Chain A
Amino acid sequence: MSTAQTPVKPSTGKLVIAWALVGVPLAYGVSETLTRVAALFG
């Protein structure tokens, strides 16, 4: 409990890493799918 009460300084770096860890694979998946979708309009 005591550690949970210690204030922390908001870290932008941590936030960027956390979002990159999920955002990069997701962007890769979307881009791969869009390549497949191109056949629909090609």
Chain B
Amino acid sequence: MGWLDRERTIAPPGFNRWLVPPAALAVHLCIGQAYATSVYKTALVKHFGASLTEIGVIFSIAIVMLGLSAAIMGTWVDKNGPRKAMFTSAVFWASGFLIGSLGIFSGQLWLVYLGYGFIGGIGLGIGYISPVSTLIKWFPDRPGLATGMAIMGFGGGALIASPVSTALLKMYDPNSGAKGWVANGDSVGKLFLTLAVVYLAYMMFGAFTIKVPAEGWKPAGFDPAKVKTATLVTADNVSARNAVKTRQFWLVWIVLFCNVTAGIGILEQAAPMIQDFFRQPDGVSLVSAGVASGFVGLLSIGNMSGRFAWSATSDVTGRKRIYMLFLGVGAVLYTVLALAGSTTTVLYVALAFVIISFYGGGFATVPAYLRDLFGTFQVGAIHGRLLTAWSAAGIAGPLIVNAFLDAQGKPGQLTAESYQPALLTMVGLLVIGFIANLLVKPVDARFHEPRPDRVRSEEPALEA
């Protein structure tokens, strides 16, 4: 397996760095399927005779494994390079679908938990972080743009997987034309087999296209001194082991946690929320189910485009300022949404779109923020550890919203006022994130890796 080693992936002189983003996108577009599971959720409920919660556990295991594997495997990914990491991710992701299909065909739900949830989730985590540090090294002049392109793929993956999966389910199920049709288990199993093959091929394309820059490579005309104009951008490096000992790591962790928790609050409830906001006194909503579905689609576009647009913008504004926008303006927009969102649908949709673009932007900009603070040395591993904030937010966000809504009434009876406590709680979280971001300062020099021209005297202790 020596052909997967980092040494075999060093780019020769003349290699075009613009081949790297499509390689990264190939992986992220595939693993982004994780957000398209709703397509076959009802079919699995029917096939296994299980509850929605029991089927939802498949996705929850996958997201928890994403955070855990990114945190645990981050250093391995940085050490072994992107090709081995993408290859490993592809094997885990495709195996997850294969074992999952076996579980569906044999009627064993635990096999779907093990396959798609556990094994596929490991593929998700490794795949998510695999191209990040490589992109940052190829684009030292525009790290936000580079990581934004890749992480946009994670948002875009669901946009592709959703219509493709629906079309395949219709093709595999002979009863697809029936009224009130729900796909049978056999067709979902075949869908999983198809996705395993297609995703394996696509991710292999990414793995065998990606290359790392040679030591000392820099883009033509690039002057590192120009990048080091902002006080937060370091020319030094901090190891992943030392990064978690710094205050900065945990402040950025809080920033990401607050931003993601607030965004998930809207995303999880998107369709019923818009209907509840425009519910009339007679209990009927002005927004139909079809329109609500269109709204969910619009949020997906906002999420995906925000990942690219805001992350690329951060190369100009600086990372700290763009997070002040996400969190500060985000808090104001959330407040307007809570207090005046039910005035008109146009205002509601516009507010939600911008808020979700901030949510996506927060994900995509964070690798460049880490690069600024900790250097490029182990930025992939540090990013992996930071993604535990995502896992935590994935639990906290829906928990907060659902707890408040449960206290307000039953689904179908909720109104705009019912959402105010949950939304204003999110405002509080965004303010906490805003303060955490304000407190981010350059990392103390004692955490820096020694340079050839200077020697570090002692092992750094936990920063006070």
Contact = CB atoms under 8 A, between A and B. Distances in A.
A, B assembled together: yes
Interface of A: 1, 3-11, 14-15, 18-19, 21-23, 25-26, 28-30, 32-34, 36-41
A7 B12 contact: yes
Contact of B12 (A8, A18, A19, A36): A8
A25 B298 contact: no
Interface of chain B, helix or strand or loop or mixed? helix
B107 interface: no
Contacts, number: 98
A4 B11 CA distance: 6
Contacts of B10: 1, 4
A4 B209 CA distance: 13
Interface of B: 7-16, 18-19, 22-23, 25-26, 29, 153, 156, 158-163, 202, 205, 209, 214, 290-291, 293-295, 297-298, 300-301, 304, 349
A26 B301 CA distance: 11
Q: Is the interface of A mostly helix, strand, loop or mixed?
A: helix
B295 A40 contact: yes
B29 A25 contact: yes
A10 to B, nearest CB: 5
Nearest to B26: A22
Contact of B209 (A1, A8, A18, A25): A18
A28 B160 contact: yes
Given A18-B23, A22-B153, A37 B13 contact: no
B19 A15 contact: yes
A30 B15 contact: no
B18 A15 contact: yes
Given A22-B26, A22-B153, A26-B160, A8 B15 contact: yes
